[in-house]
Amino acid sequence: MFDSRLIPENVLYITMRDLKSVILRVNDSGFPRKSIPPHACAILISTEKMEDGSEDYVLSRSMPVALDSVENSLWVPDTFFMFENVYKKLNDDSMVAIFIGFVDEYAKYVGLLLSKDAQDSVCALTNLDASKDIQKLGHPFEKYPFLFEVSYHSQGGQEEAH
């Protein structure tokens, strides 16, 4: 289940816009779009005290990690395993979601946001043209079944094939 402080679609769109701009800058430098490696980052939330004593939430993401050496059906479980271990070692409980992004065979940028417990997800795609909007995918498992072949449940770290 997604953290109650999040609106998953908004977090997904913000993260995709941010990383899409990075991809476009890399592409402008001569790196082909289809060569952009799949990548993942942790979505973090923290509380900040305001001057008036109230609290506000701050949303951020970790640096993207390339997944090009990982088989695509293992992107989800490997990413969860990696980020859970990193934040557990840091004794940091700010991670609230995982983002996985990749450029598909049609040169569309796909983003998948998964809840911390891997039970909920939202997915969207966009053309890599700067003017195109991000579109939510209703059933991403039909278009990208490899993302859901193996699901990862963080309690106990058990992988289950589907």
Structural domain contains residue 1: no
pLDDT at 156 exceeding the cut of 50: no
Residue 110, domain extent? 8-161
Structural domain contains residue 2: no
pTM score of the predicted model:
0.84
| Angular region, 91: left φ>0, alpha ψ -120 to 50, beta rest | left
Structural domain contains residue 3: no
**Cα dihedral value 109, 8, 93, 77, nearest 10:** -50
pLDDT recorded at residue 149: 67
Angle at 73 between CA 62 and CA 80, to 5 degrees: 35
Q: Which residue has the tokens 């106990």?
A: 156
* CA atoms 90, 96, 102, 104: torsion sign: positive
Number of domains the chain contains: 1
pLDDT in tens, 76-100: 889 989 998 888 888 888 899 999 9
pLDDT in tens, 102-143: 998 888 899 999 998 888 889 999 988 766 688 888 777 788
